[in-house]
């Protein structure tokens, strides 16, 4: 299925497909086949790179291949710099598509390189993880982490095509598949009661890797995100609702160490934390939401409490460095009910209370 995205003057399709067949021809529409560069990582390359090269070459493309290291710990300025050097050595020009084959880390690094090399070259996202399919591959946000926090250096650079080949999920370990569930739950809460109820009903099928259930939730999540991105492509306002669960989630990732707590796990915990905080503040208009989310997150195999050794004071400091600070206030995304999500400003001296709402093993 083809899901159109219109954002920041760019228009492109997110294609949810059974496999990679058709990608080469789709990429050639309006430009004709020529040179392209596939950037992948050492984990994904032996699984899917040969198939992607064959698909592209069969459509007339001349393919060069580069690699970046895998894992959140390698999502750094040093990795970006090395990739930029590789792309320049490959003599890319402003008409050379660069394809990111991998999960969210690879997509973010390759996207940032594509945004900055020659001040921008065409980007194609070919996500191979559920998390990347439903979230990071769509919307044009790219970047790397620094010691001060996650995704603090980057650029907005919309892809020209996103191709989600569902058969790549067959090689995904269960733990990595579950990471995508965290963002799927977030999108369901954003979309409203019907979407959340559908996610609850499909939870057993998702865990069992039912192809129809996965296709349904990938498409639903992409549509939800695409609608928000269309209204606010550069995150100047409403798009910030997509950060639901991320303020606490990013803090958990930073404190635990990037790669120790997976992103989807951290988002799920952050979603539970902000919902419990909203409950404690008396903001909820759907009182059952915290219990529903806890049950759903547990049913999807995601953690419902953070590690016992996480330091609340360190979390508070990490939240204080969150990129969504504004004039001494922390902008937080608050769920009042499914489909009713609002942005609020929280004084920084109330951050410890926010941290206390985060479920932690004690």
> Catalytic: which of 48, 53, 141, 187?
141
> Catalytic: which of 263, 265, 276, 294?
263
Chain centroid to CA 323: 17
* Beta carbons of 285 and 296 less than 8 angstroms apart: no
> Catalytic: which of 55, 64, 72, 235?
235
> Catalytic: which of 48, 186, 223, 225?
225
3-state secondary structure of 152: strand
Is 11 an active-site residue?
no
How far is Cα 152 from Cα 171, in angstroms, rounded to an integer? Answer: 31
Sheet arrangement for strand 325-326: 325-326, 329-337, 340-347
Is 225 an active-site residue?
yes
Sheet arrangement for strand 123-127: 2-7, 10-17, 161-165, 123-127, 98-102, 35-40, 62-67
Is 239 an active-site residue?
yes
Is 75 an active-site residue?
no
Is 183 an active-site residue?
yes
> Catalytic: which of 178, 223, 250, 262?
250
Is 119 an active-site residue?
yes
> Catalytic: which of 67, 75, 243, 294?
243
259: left (phi over 0), alpha (psi -120 to 50) or beta: left
Is 238 an active-site residue?
no
On the 0-12 / 13-18 / 19+ scale of CB atoms within 10 A, 309 is exposed
* Beta carbons of 245 and 268 less than 8 angstroms apart: yes
> Catalytic: which of 53, 150, 178, 239?
239
> Catalytic: which of 246, 262, 276, 324?
246
Q: Pick from 284, 302, 317, 320: which is nearest to 359 by CA?
A: 302
> Catalytic: which of 2, 119, 327, 362?
119
Q: What is the DSSP string of 85-126?
A: HHHHHTT--TT--EEEEESHHHHHHHHHHHHHGGG---EEEE
Helix 104-116, helix 77-89: angle, nearest 10: 60
> Catalytic: which of 67, 72, 176, 183?
183
CB proximity list for 348: less than 8 A, separation 6 or greater: 320, 325, 328, 329, 330
Is 157 an active-site residue?
no
Is 141 an active-site residue?
yes
Which residues carry out catalysis? 119, 141, 183, 225, 235, 239, 243, 246, 250, 263
């Amino acid at each position: 299925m083809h899901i159109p995205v219109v954002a920041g003057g760019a228009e492109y399709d997110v294609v949810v497909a059974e496999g990679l067949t058709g990608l080469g021809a789709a990429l050639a529409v309006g430009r004709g086949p020529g040179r392209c560069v596939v950037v992948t990582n050492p984990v994904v390359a032996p699984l899917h790179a040969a198939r992607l090269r064959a698909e592209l070459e069969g459509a007339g493309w001349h393919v060069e291949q580069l690699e970046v290291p895998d894992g959140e710990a390698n999502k750094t300025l040093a990795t970006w710099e090395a990739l930029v050097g590789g792309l320049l050595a490959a003599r890319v020009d402003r008409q050379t598509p660069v394809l990111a084959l991998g999960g969210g880390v690879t997509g973010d690094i390759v996207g940032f390189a594509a945004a900055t090399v020659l001040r921008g070259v065409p980007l194609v996202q070919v996500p191979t993880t559920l998390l990347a399919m439903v979230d990071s591959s769509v919307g044009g946000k790219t970047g790397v982490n620094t010691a001060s926090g996650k995704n603090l250096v980057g650029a907005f650079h919309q892809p020209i095509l996103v191709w989600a080949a569902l058969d790549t999920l067959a090689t995904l370990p269960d733990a990595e598949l579950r990471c995508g569930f965290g963002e799927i739950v977030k999108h369901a809460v954003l979309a409203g009661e019907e979407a959340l109820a559908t996610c609850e009903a499909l939870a057993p099928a998702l865990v069992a890797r039912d192809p129809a259930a996965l296709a349904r939730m990938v498409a639903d999540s992409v549509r939800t995100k695409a609608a928000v991105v269309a209204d606010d492509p550069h995150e100047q306002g409403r798009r910030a609702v997509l950060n639901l669960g991320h303020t606490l989630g990013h803090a958990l990732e930073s404190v635990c160490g990037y790669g120790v707590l997976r992103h989807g796990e951290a988002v799920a915990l952050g979603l539970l934390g902000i919902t419990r905080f909203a409950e404690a503040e008396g903001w909820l208009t759907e009182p059952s939401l915290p219990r529903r989310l806890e049950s759903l997150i547990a049913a999807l195999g995601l953690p419902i409490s953070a590690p016992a050794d996480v330091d609340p004071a360190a979390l508070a400091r990490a939240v204080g460095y969150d990129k969504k600070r504004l004039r001494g206030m922390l902008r937080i995304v608050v769920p009042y009910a499914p489909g009713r999500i609002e942005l609020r400003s929280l004084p920084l001296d109330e951050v410890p209370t926010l941290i206390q709402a985060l479920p932690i093993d004690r």
